[in-house]
Chain A
Amino acid sequence: MLEILQAPPYCTIQDLGRPRARHAGVPVGGAMDPHALVLTNMLAGNLPEHAGLEWALGGGEFSTTRALRLAHSSDLLIGNTPIPPWTTAVVPPGTSVRLGPPYQERFGYLAIEGGIEVPQVLGSRSTYLPAHFGGFQGRLLRTGDRLPIGRPTIDSTGPLPGFELPAQLRSRSSDPIRFVSGPDSERLPPEAIRRFEDSEWTLSTTGDRMGYRLQGEPLPLAPSGFLPSAPVCPGVIQIPGDGQPIVLMPDGPTVGGYTTIGVVISVDLGRLAQTRPGSTIRFRRIEVEEAQALFRRQRIDWHTAHSLSKETAS
Chain B
Amino acid sequence: MRFAPLGDAALTLTLGDAISLDVHASVVRAADRIRAARLPSMLDIVPAYTAVTVYYDPLRTDCATMQHLISTVMASEGPTPQTIVKEQVIPVQYDGPDLAAVAHETGISVSEVVARHAAPLYEVCVIGFVPGFAYLGPLDPTLILPRLSTPRRRVPAGSVAIAGCQTGVYPFPTPGGWRLLGHTDVTLFDVDRDPPALLAAGDRVRFEAL
Contact = CB atoms under 8 A, between A and B. Distances in A.
Contact of B59 (A24, A183, A296): A296
A241 interface: no
Contacts of B55: 19, 22, 233
Interface in B148-205: 171-172, 174, 189, 191, 195-197, 200-201
Which size bracket describes the interface of A in this complex?
A: 35 or more
Given A24-B197, A122-B196, A295-B58, A233 B130 contact: no
A228 B58 contact: no
Nearest to A286: B8
B46 A228 contact: no
A122 B51 CA distance: 25
Interface stretch (A51-59, A97-105, A260-268): A260-268
A131 B126 contact: no
Given A23-B127, A253-B128, A295 B6 contact: no
A128 B172 CA distance: 12
Interface residues of B, number: 47
A232 B6 contact: yes
B9 A229 contact: no
B49 interface: yes
Contacts of B46: 22-23, 231, 254-255
B39 to A, nearest CB: 13
A295 B8 CA distance: 8
Given A229-B126, A230-B53, A255-B48, A265 B7 contact: yes
A289 B7 CA distance: 10
B131 A20 contact: no
A262 B132 CA distance: 26
B100 interface: no
A288 B65 CA distance: 12
A223 interface: no
Contacts of A299: 59
A195 to B, nearest CB: 21
Interface string A130-147: 111100000000000000
A245 interface: no
B83 to A, nearest CB: 13
B89 interface: no
A205 B71 CA distance: 43
A25 B129 contact: yes
Contacts of B7: 180, 233, 235-236, 263-266, 288, 291
A255 to B, nearest CB: 3
Nearest to A122: B191
A126 B189 CA distance: 18
Interface string B11-26: 0101000110000000
A67 interface: no
A292 B6 contact: no
A24 B47 CA distance: 11
Contact of A288 (B5, B52, B126, B174): B5
Given A231-B46, A288-B63, A24 B8 contact: no
Given A180-B7, A253-B128, 19 more contacts: A19-B44, A25-B127, A25-B128, A25-B189, A130-B130, A228-B49, A229-B48, A229-B126, A230-B12, A230-B14, A230-B51, A231-B48, A231-B51, A231-B52, A233-B6, A236-B6, A255-B48, A260-B6, A288-B8
Q: Which 9 A-B pairs have the closest CB atoms?
A: A263-B7, A255-B128, A183-B4, A231-B53, A228-B49, A291-B8, A24-B197, A231-B46, A25-B131
8 contacts: A25-B128, A130-B130, A229-B135, A231-B53, A233-B7, A255-B48, A263-B6, A288-B7
Interface of A: 19-26, 121-122, 128, 130-133, 180, 182-183, 226, 228-233, 235-236, 253-255, 260, 263-266, 288-289, 291-292, 295-296, 299
